[in-house]
Amino acid sequence: MAETAAQRQANASSRRRMLRGMATLALGGLLAACQMVPKANGPATAPPPETPTDNVGPGLPTDTDRHRVALLVPQTGPNADVGMAIANATTLALLDSRTEKVRITTYDTALGAAAAARQAVADGNKLILGPLLSEDVAAVAPVARDAKVPVLSFSNDSSVAGNGVFIMGFVPGQSVERVVAFARAKGHQRFGALVPKTVYGDRSAAAFRAAVAEAGGTLVAVESYDRSATALTGAARRLANAGAMDAVLIADSGGNAVRAVPIVKGTGNRQILGTELWNTDASLGGNAAMRGSWFASVSDGLYGQLASKYRARFGKAPYRLASLGYDSVLLTVRIAREWKPGTTFPASRLLAADGFGGIDGIFRFNNRGIATRALEVSEIGAGGFRVVDPAPTKW
């Protein structure tokens, strides 16, 4: 049913009262680098039904003293759970930062990313957080660019970055570079890699070749495979027989690594290397062949606290990507200190040399619009993961 002008005005007033009455969580203050460290406050009370983010709808209230920010994520369809986790995390970030100057309106990209972007622009939003999928970023970018609205995407596809689009996702090449550099510093010289025939695998392989050369190592072989158990084991055997090597990268999930590692190691003492895909698989330590392996990823220290608070408020565990939504809001709040409501978002501030901080550690955007992250290196043990080289805390 279409709303009348009176109904829209009443709804707007109701939303404003809801936001003014929202209780903030008792957490640590916003740090200079915009890093929020959630405190453990004991048992949480049941969450209130309202949230400080609004779903898109007719008759949005006109704000003149708040920054209008759009959140573009899937709210329906196969990726709805991930989108909801990101949206919930932005709610927590707004509460934690105790800001009343930022208003976030959520738009469903599953109904059409370009259409969602057009609606977001028409509603007066000056910054877009999201979307999640690279194809959605490609659809949103020209709409946002024409309106001079920057896009802060959660994608990890570097090919969609630039020209007004910034990506916050965990780019696979960075974890490959980090773990290869660490292995080389530990004396490993001859490198091989096992990668799937996917976009992720192709980019990991390219980063691996560059990282080995940069570190002064020797590239022995790179074997690729289709996504099947037979192809994986075949590629692992080819790599195992490719020649002398003392470190092998497996740029795939932990589950596939478990299948490949016994073959790749053979009777030798090859150091196994992995990527950020392994940091959410706590079961890897249960496989003896995986113990001693190294992988690079963002730090999970603060994420564990965020996940606990998320479960207390929303009744279930978040997806790991929820941290991107949280950190995007912290970044926005930091820049909002010197951003006049109603004016164009100062995208140049995203290129600050000192970068930003958040749940996933420090990061900064390069001139291509890609988030460069400080990563830690962990070792897999029987009891879980152990950090063997911490992430830097400053640039």
Q: Are 27-170+301-361 and 172-297+376-389 equal in CATH topology?
A: yes
Give per-residue pLDDT as tens, 264-279: 998 778 999 999 999 9
Spans of all domains in the chain: 27-170+301-361, 172-297+376-389
Task: Identify the pLDDT of residue 269.
Answer: 84
CA distance 322 to 315: 15
CA distance 257 to 267: 17
Q: According to DSSP H, which parts of the chain are helical? A: 5-20, 80-97, 113-122, 134-146, 172-185, 199-215, 229-240, 254-265, 301-314, 322-336
Residues 6+ apart with CB under 8 A from 4: none
pTM for this model (two decimals): 0.81
Task: Identify the pLDDT of residue 63.
Answer: 65
Give per-residue pLDDT as tens, 102-129: 999 999 999 999 999 999 999 999 999 9
Kindly report the CATH number that applies to the domain delimited by 172-297+376-389.
Answer: 3.40.50.2300
Amino acid letter, residue 282: A
CA distance 8 to 326: 30
**Average pLDDT in the chain:** 87
Which CATH architecture fits 27-170+301-361?
Answer: 3-Layer(aba) Sandwich (3.40)
Beta strands 376-381 and 371-373, pairing class: unpaired
CA distance 178 to 181: 5
Give per-residue pLDDT as tens, 207-263: 999 999 999 999 999 999 999 999 999 999 999 999 999 999 999 999 999 999 999
Q: Hey, what are 18's tokens?
A: 């809801």
Angle between helices 322-336 and 301-314 (to 10 degrees): 100
CA distance 52 to 329: 12
* Weakest mean pLDDT among 17-31, 46-60, 232-246, 357-371: 17-31
Give per-residue pLDDT as tens, 130-179: 999 999 999 999 999 999 999 999 999 999 999 999 999 999 899 999 99
Residues 6+ apart with CB under 8 A from 14: none
Q: 345 with 127: CB under 8 angstroms?
A: yes
Residues 6+ apart with CB under 8 A from 262: 289
Beta strands 271-274 and 247-250, pairing class: parallel
Q: Hey, what are 382's tokens?
A: 């029987």
**pLDDT class for 301, splitting at 50, 70, 90?**
confident
What is the mean pLDDT of the segment spanning 312-340? 96
